[in-house]
Structure 1
Amino acid sequence: MARIIGMTEDAKVYRAVTHKTFADGTKTTVYEGPYDKVGTARARVTFWRNHLAKYGKGASADGHVEECQPQWAPVPAPAQRRNPAR
C-alpha cells in the first residue's frame, strides 16, 4: 500500500521493528512503516507489546524504532521492446 508522506529533501522516515515470541517458542520479527513521525513507530511497538500481553496466551513482544534518511535517485527507463521476427 502506498503511503503519502510529505517529505523535504533532508527528511527522515521511521519504522517499527517488533520481535514476537509465541507460547510454543516460535520467534518472528515484523517491520512496520515507513512512518513520518518517530512517535507513530513507537506506538506500533507499544501496541504489539500490549496486545500480545493481553491476548497472546503466553506470547510476548518487544522491539525498537529505526530511522532512515532516504536518498532518492532516478530509475532507469525500461529497455525498449524489440518486435519479434515474424
Structure 2
Amino acid sequence: MTSLNNNSASDQEAQHSCFQEWMKLQQQDLLELIHALHNFSSSSSSSSSACSAANDLKLKQLIEKSIKHFQDYTDSRRHLARSDVTAYLAPTW
C-alpha cells in the first residue's frame, strides 16, 4: 500500500512539475510577445510595407511557438495520465 501511495505522490509531483514548467514557458512567451508589440509599435511611425510584413511574420512565429508549447503541455499531461488519471482530472494545484 505504501508503494501505491508513493507512486501516486510521484505521479502528482510529475503533473505539478509539468504544469510549473508550462507556466514558465507561458511567462516567457508573454514577455516575448509584449516586447515584440512594444518594438513594433515604436517602429510603426516609420514603417514600410516590408517592415510591416517582417513584424507580422515575427508575431506569427511567436504565436506559433506559444501554441506549440501548449500542445507539448497537453501531450505531456496525457502521457502522465496513463499512470495516474486522478492527477490529470483533478490536479492538486
**Same-fold status (TM-score > 0.5):** no
Higher share of residues assigned helix: 2
Higher share of residues assigned strand: 1
Tell me: higher relative CO, structure 1 or 2? Use CA pairs within 8 A at least 6 residues apart.
Answer: 2
TM-score, with length taken from structure 1: 0.33
